[in-house]
Structure 1
Amino acid sequence: MHVVVLGGRGAWPSAGQGCAGLLVEYRGFRLLIDPGYATLQPLLARLPASAVDAVYVSHDHPDHCADLQPLLRARVLRDRSVPALPVYAPTGSLGPLLAIDEPGLLDAAYHLHGFNPGDAFDIGPFAVRTWSLPHWVPNAGARFSVAGTTLAYTGDTGPSPMLVELARDADLLIADATYVDEIPDEHVGFLSSAAEVGRYAGTARVGAVLLTHLWPGTDPEAAIAATRQAYAGPVSVARPGVVVDLPG
C-alpha cells in the first residue's frame, strides 16, 4: 500500500499547503481520500484526473471535499467517455457541493455511493469498515485493509471510545490533531489534539502515526512531541509530498 499526502491543513489552506487529502495506491488502483481545498493541484502533478479510480469522503466540510468538484470537471470536460467515478460518502453529505455547477454538467462524471457511518463495504481491492465519530456533521472514520495491511483514518473527530477500535493494530493511523494539547471550549468534543492521538494510538498499538488537520499556526514539532508523551512509535506530520509505503 502506497500512501501519498496531498495536504494536511485544517479549516483552510495555507500558502504552501492544502487541506486534507490522501492518495492511496495498491497494485494500480488509486483511491483518493478526502479531496479538500487545494489538493487537486498536487494530485494532478502526479497523475491525470482520469487515473483516479474511486473517492472516499469522510464528511461534508469543504476542507475535506471541496476539490471533488473541480476533479469531476477535469474528468468530464476533457473527455466525456471517461467512466463515471465511484464516490463514497455519508448519505446526503455531498448534495450542496455537487449542486454548485450548472444543472446536468457533472451527472455523467460520478456514481455516488451513499453510506451510513458504521457500514462496511469494498472499494476496489480495499475492504472498508467505517465508524461514526463525533463532529459537527456526520463523520465516518474508516479502516482501509488489503493484503494484511491496514490504514486507519479518523477524518475530523472529538474524543470517542471508538477511536481505539478504529485504530487497533493498524499499520498506519492518520489522525486529526487540530491542536497540540488544549482544545478551545468551542471545539471541545468535536476536534482532537495531538496529545489525545498519542493516548489512543498507544492503547491501540498502531505501527505508526501521521498527524493531520493541524490548524494553521499549530506547531508541527510541538504536535509530534505531544503525541510522543503516550505513544512510543514513529510519529510524523502530514505535509504535501510525504509518502508512506506500507507492507503488503
Structure 2
Amino acid sequence: MRLTVLGGCGAWPAAGQACSGYLVEHEGFQVLIDPGYATLPRLLELTAAEWVDAVLVSHGHPDHCADLNPLLRARALGDAPPAALPVHAPPGALDAVLALDRPGMLAGSFTVGELAPGRPYELGPFRLDVWSLPHHVPNAGLRLSGGGRVIAYTGDTGPTLDLVELARDADVLLAEATYPERVPEEDAPYLSTALDAGRTASKAGVARLLLTHLWPDTPREPALAAASAHYAGDLAVAEAGLVVDLG
C-alpha cells in the first residue's frame, strides 16, 4: 500500500500548495481521498484521470471536494470517457460541487454512494470502515485496510473518543491539526489541534502520524512540537509530494 500526499492546506491553498488530497494505491487500485482545491494538477502528475478507481470525500467543504468537478470533467469530456467513477461521501456532501455544471453535462461519468458508519465497505482490494465525527457539517472518518496495512484519516473533526478506535494500531494516521495547541472557542467542538492529534496517536498505538489541514502559510515547527509532547513515534506534516510506502 502506498500513500501520496497531494496537498494538506486547510481552508485555501497557499502559494504553490494544495488543500487536502491523498492518493492511496494497493494492488493497482487507486483511491483518491478528498479532492480539495488545487489537487487535480498534482494528481495528474502521478496518474491519469481515467485511472482513478474510486473517490472518497470526508465532507462537503470545498477545501476537501472542489476538485472533484475538474476530475469528472477530465473523465467525461475526454476522447474516450471511462466507466462511471464511484464517489462515496456523507449524505448531501456532494450536492454543491455536483451542481457546478449544467444538468446532464457529467451524466454517466460518476455514481454516488453514501458513507454511513457501522458497517464495512468493500472498495477494490480495500476494506473501508467509517466513523461519524463532529464537524460543522457531516464528516466521515475513514479507515482503509489492505494487505495487512491500515491508513486512518480524520477528515476535519472536533475532539472525540471515537478517534482512538478509528486510528487503533494504524500504520499511518492522517490527522487534522488546524491549530498547534488551541482552537478558537467558536470552533472548538468542530476542529482539532496538533496536541489533540498527538494524544490520539499515542493512545491508539499509531506507527506514523501525519499532521494535515494546517492553516495556510503557518510554520510547521509549532505543530510538530505540540504533537510530540504526547506522541513519540514517527511524525511529520503532510505536505505535497510526501510518499509513504507501506509495502
Q: Is the 8 A contact 2:40 2:71 kept in 1?
A: yes
Matching of residues 1-248 of structure 1 within 5 Å: 1-247=1-247
- 1:111 is paired with a residue of what secondary structure? strand
**1:108 CA displacement:** 1.0
Distance 1:93 1:119, change over 3 A: farther
Q: Distance in 2 between matches of 1:166 and 1:184?
A: 25
Partner AA of 1:99 in structure 2: A
**1:186 CA displacement:** 1.7
Task: Structure 1: state its 5+ residue gaps.
Answer: none
Q: Distance in 2 between matches of 1:89 and 1:81?
A: 23
Partner AA of 2:231 in structure 1: Y
Q: Is the 8 A contact 1:55 1:86 kept in 2?
A: yes
CA deviation vs aligned residue, 1:174-208 (integer Å, no higher than 9, x gap) = 00000000111121111000011101110111000
- 2:59 is paired with a residue of what secondary structure? coil
Q: Is the 8 A contact 1:128 1:144 kept in 2?
A: yes
Q: Is the 8 A contact 1:90 1:117 kept in 2?
A: no
Question: Cα RMSD (Å) of the superposition?
Answer: 1.0
CA deviation vs aligned residue, 1:218-241 (integer Å, no higher than 9, x gap) = 321111111110001010001111
Q: Distance in 2 between matches of 1:118 and 1:133?
A: 13
Greater than 2 Å deviation, 4+ residue runs? 115-120
**1:119 CA displacement:** 4.0
**1:51 CA displacement:** 0.9
**1:114 CA displacement:** 1.4
TM-score calculated relative to the size of structure 1: 0.97
Partner AA of 1:133 in structure 2: L
CA deviation vs aligned residue, 1:14-49 (integer Å, no higher than 9, x gap) = 111110000000111100000000000000111111
TM-score calculated relative to the size of structure 2: 0.97
Q: Distance in 2 between matches of 1:240 and 1:23?
A: 11
**1:118 CA displacement:** 4.1
Percent of paired sites with the same residue:
57
Q: Distance in 2 between matches of 1:131 and 1:117?
A: 5
**1:116 CA displacement:** 2.2
Q: Is the 8 A contact 2:115 2:140 kept in 1?
A: no
- 2:8 is paired with a residue of what secondary structure? strand
Partner AA of 1:205 in structure 2: G
Q: Distance in 1 between matches of 2:115 and 2:203?
A: 29
Q: Distance in 2 between matches of 1:4 and 1:40?
A: 13
- 1:107 is paired with a residue of what secondary structure? coil
Q: Distance in 1 between matches of 2:209 and 2:242?
A: 13
Q: Is the 8 A contact 2:4 2:23 kept in 1?
A: yes
Q: How many residues align?
A: 247
Mean alpha-carbon deviation: is it higher for 211-220 or for 145-154? 211-220
Q: Is the 8 A contact 1:180 1:218 kept in 2?
A: no
Q: Distance in 2 between matches of 1:79 and 1:143?
A: 35
